[in-house]
Amino acid sequence: SAVISQKPSRDICQRGTSLTIQCQVDSQVTMMFWYRQQPGQSLTLIATANQGSEATYESGFVIDKFPISRPNLTFSTLTVSNMSPEDSSIYLCSVGHGGRRDTEAFFGQGTRLTVV
């Protein structure tokens, strides 16, 4: 299993500013994933972050808006840049082990972001 800590748990930010969300895992993992959950909606994958390589972004998400760092095997950050009210969402970090289809994924508790 894996225990994931996300910081901050929630924040209220002014439009035009940026927020960096931290994700710490209690074990070394190859892949980390960042999701967005807009109000009342399901989860949407933003990007996949592997240690030592550039993050891979899903359609509709770009690095300039959501830069990601992955400095080691237990930590990652997601920055939401130049925020607007449309960025108000829950952002979740997730990890999986070994990239196998028959293993479970683990999720952090999420960061609830409100942009005013």
Q: Which residues contact 105 (CB under 8 A, 6 or more apart)?
A: 33, 94, 95, 96
Q: Does 89 engage in binding with another protein (CB under 8 A)?
A: no
Identity of the residue, 14 or 53, whose beta carbon is nearer to another protein in the bound complex: 53
**Torsion 77-5-50-34 (CA) sign:** negative
Among 23, 76, 78, 108, binds another protein (CB under 8 A): 108
Peptide bond into 8 cis (omega under 30): yes
Beta bridge partners of 33: 48, 94
Q: x-or-dash pattern for another protein, window 43-62, by CB under 8 A?
A: xxx--x-x-----x------
Q: Does 64 engage in binding with another protein (CB under 8 A)?
A: no
Binding positions for another protein, 13-42, rule CB under 8 A: 30-31, 33, 35, 42
Residue span binding another protein (CB under 8 A) among the ranges 20-28, 63-71, 75-83, 96-104 = 96-104
